[in-house]
């Protein structure tokens, strides 16, 4: 009997299932490496504190009642209500928010659905650090200092900047938007 096969000669994993298994393993490995890169404690085998765990894996069973980061506020410093926000925004148009302890301004990304993306944009220009702003008419971020431009995901579309805008982590939970001043485990761009 070939190793890994049942006595009736059938492979316990169909071709499709094996392929799915491999995809799962590769995906899990990539996620783990990326998470270890962002949070070195993972690759060093230390247990994650609740804040880090629930920022990275908000659906983890230990995070059911835990809200990581700080609550996102609108321009008038009012807590953002998820339902109201999604009713009043359009996919592809970033939404300015406040709320991180450093008093910075950041942008939520609205995806198709509409849904709030698991990452937001820190509008610090990667050229020399000026603050970029979303230009509604031109439909991209524009830097007031030397004219760099970025699309709605923060990717460079016009220099002199060469790198995408930095990201923060966003967790949507209990009708709240939580901002975590930490890049997400994987940059989806
Ligand atoms: Fe933004 Fe130079 S600082 S283009």
Sequential DSSP letters for 77-143: SPBPPHHHHHHS--TT--EEEB-STT---EEEEEETTTEEEEEEE--B-TTT-PBPEEETTTTEEE-
What is the total residue count of the chain?
189
Residue 8 has pLDDT above 70, yes or no: no
Measure the CA–CA gap between 114 and 109, rounded to whole angstroms.
Answer: 10
Ligand 1: does its nearest atom lie under 6 Å from the Cβ of 128? yes
List residues bridging with 100 in a β-sheet.
Answer: none
- With b meaning 16 or more CB within 10 Å and e meaning fewer, what string describes 64-96? eeeebbbebbbeeeeebebeebbeeeeeeebbe
In this prediction, residue 57 has a pLDDT band, given cuts at 50, 70 and 90, of confident
Ligand 1: does its nearest atom lie under 6 Å from the Cβ of 133? no
Ligand 1: does its nearest atom lie under 6 Å from the Cβ of 146? yes
Residue 43's alpha-carbon distances to 39, 40, 49, 56, 98, in angstroms, are 8, 5, 14, 14, 32
Please tell me the predicted confidence (pLDDT) of residue 48.
76
Higher pLDDT, 10 or 88: 88
Measure the CA–CA gap between 165 and 34, rounded to whole angstroms.
Answer: 18
In this prediction, residue 98 has a pLDDT band, given cuts at 50, 70 and 90, of very high
CA of 177 from ligand 1 middle (Å) equals: 29
165 Cβ contact partners less than 8 Å away, ≥ 6 residues apart: 121, 122, 123, 124, 125, 126, 132, 141, 150, 154
Using the structure block, give the residue that is written with the tokens 């894996």. Answer: 57
In this prediction, residue 189 has a pLDDT band, given cuts at 50, 70 and 90, of confident
The residue whose CA has the least distance to atom 4 of ligand 1 is 146
CA of 126 from ligand 1 middle (Å) equals: 7
Q: How many CB atoms lie within 10 A of CB 24?
A: 10
Q: Which atom of ligand 1 is nearest to the CA of 132?
A: 1
CA of 100 from ligand 1 middle (Å) equals: 23
**Ligand 1: which of 133, 160, 162 to mutate, most ligand atoms within 8 Å of CB?**
160
Please state, for a pLDDT cut of 90, what percent of the chain lies above it: 48
Ligand 1: does its nearest atom lie under 6 Å from the Cβ of 165? no
Please tell me the predicted confidence (pLDDT) of residue 128.
97
CA of 128 from ligand 1 middle (Å) equals: 5
Measure the CA–CA gap between 79 and 67, rounded to whole angstroms.
Answer: 14
| Closest C-alpha among 115, 122, 120 to residue 91 | 115
CA of 47 from ligand 1 middle (Å) equals: 40
């Amino acid at each position: 009997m070939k190793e890994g096969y049942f006595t009736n000669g059938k492979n316990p994993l169909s071709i499709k299932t094996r392929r799915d298994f491999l995809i799962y393993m590769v995906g899990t490995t990539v996620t783990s490496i990326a998470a270890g890169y962002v949070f070195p404690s993972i690759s060093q085998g230390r247990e994650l504190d609740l804040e880090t765990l629930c920022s990275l894996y908000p659906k983890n069973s230990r995070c059911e009642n835990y809200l990581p980061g700080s609550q996102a506020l609108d321009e008038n410093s009012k807590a953002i209500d998820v339902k109201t926000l999604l009713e009043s925004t359009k996919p592809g148009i970033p939404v300015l928010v406040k709320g991180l302890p450093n008093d910075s301004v950041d942008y939520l990304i609205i995806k198709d659905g509409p849904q709030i993306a698991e990452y937001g944009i820190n509008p610090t220009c990667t050229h020399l650090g000026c603050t970029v702003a979303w230009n509604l008419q031109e439909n991209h971020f524009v830097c007031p200092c030397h004219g760099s431009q970025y699309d709605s995901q923060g990717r460079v579309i016009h220099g002199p900047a060469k790198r995408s805008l930095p990201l923060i982590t966003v967790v949507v939970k209990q009708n709240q938007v939580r901002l975590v001043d930490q890049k997400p485990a994987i940059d989806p761009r």
